[in-house]
Structure 1
Amino acid sequence: MQNFSDPNFINSLKRGDQSAMEILISAYSGHLLNAALGMGFGREKSQDIAHSTWLTFFEVVHKFEGRSHIRTFLFGIFYNKVSEYKRQILKYEKYDPIEEVMEARFVDNGHWQSEWPSDPHEALVNTQGLSIIEECMDKLPLIQKSVFYLKVVKELSSEEICHTLEISSTNLRQLLYRSKTRLKECIERKGAK
């Protein structure tokens, strides 16, 4: 078992030693991927984030001073990559067409234009529900998907989610509402096919 705190190993990494890099990649690639998946990213985006983390790590490893564990240094880069990606998503979401979609879904008296089937279980079975839900989840903007996943699937408290995603409680409620609305819209559309 490799001691990643060993100064000789750290120096090998700083020199760009291929075998040291392979050992570290082998030890932590799965951890990076699982961390990204756990944050609600899809498999492909999780792989992109892990790959981007490694690229940056090897560009800056020569600056590593050894005051922390190499894993801490690596995951610091990972969290910066996640934050960068979330900022990109928030920029994209400044214009959100869901408001227009919502207006089109209601009739003048404020009721939904179409009702859910009376038996939700039957609707799921008839429309291959789980695959439709997964497909619709994948289409959500990342921040909405993350909020929905952490709140509904992981059942985290609102405080934990706000802290993790660095958003306000008002923003959390809005994102949760939008994610549920988009999911309903997508599921209805796919269920009607």
Structure 2
Amino acid sequence: MVMRGLKRNWLILSGIFLGLFLMIFPCWSAGTNFRQEINRIVEEIAHKYSLEPTLIHSIIKIESNYDPWAISPKGAIGLMQLMPTTAAQYGVRDIFDPRENIEGGVRYLKDLIRLYQGRTDLVLAAYNAGQEAVKKFGGIPPYPETIKYIEKVKASYNKPVIRTRTRIYKFIDKKGRVVLTNDRQYYLKNRRDN
């Protein structure tokens, strides 16, 4: 009787350990596969928009530490920490989807690169603090968060100028807002004069 009880307890305990192992191992494996998938997406989008993958990875690392579910206290969401209005402007339907978030962030980044003539510090300042803050201060805003952000991104991407050849469309949309985009279809569809 005692032996049967021990055997039964041992089987139950073994089952629990096996279950825990099977639960933990796929999670570890999925994390590895997720990062590989993000690397593949970044490479593809970087090529599509003629940007260096290093720049995109640097921004993702600092913005969200590769967490697609990240939400900042100010409401920025996903890997590249897009504000919902920015995401909508760049056609991002699912802001938590890694591919859509990265592509929306890269398209916005391309517009900033064009607007600030590739000057890395200003591009990063506008990406972090917003174009209005850069305009208000006539350069890098004196916000400690923005200054640290620029330093952190430049620690892995330290180039004074970012090069791009994409045309940027500047227009006033139907709500009277000034919009910058590199998407010709978005430009044609959303101009006020349509």
- TM-score normalised according to structure 1 size: 0.29
Structure showing the higher helix proportion among its residues: 1
**Structure of greater relative contact order (alpha carbons < 8 Å, 6+ residues apart):** 1
Bigger radius of gyration: 2
- TM-score normalised according to structure 2 size: 0.29
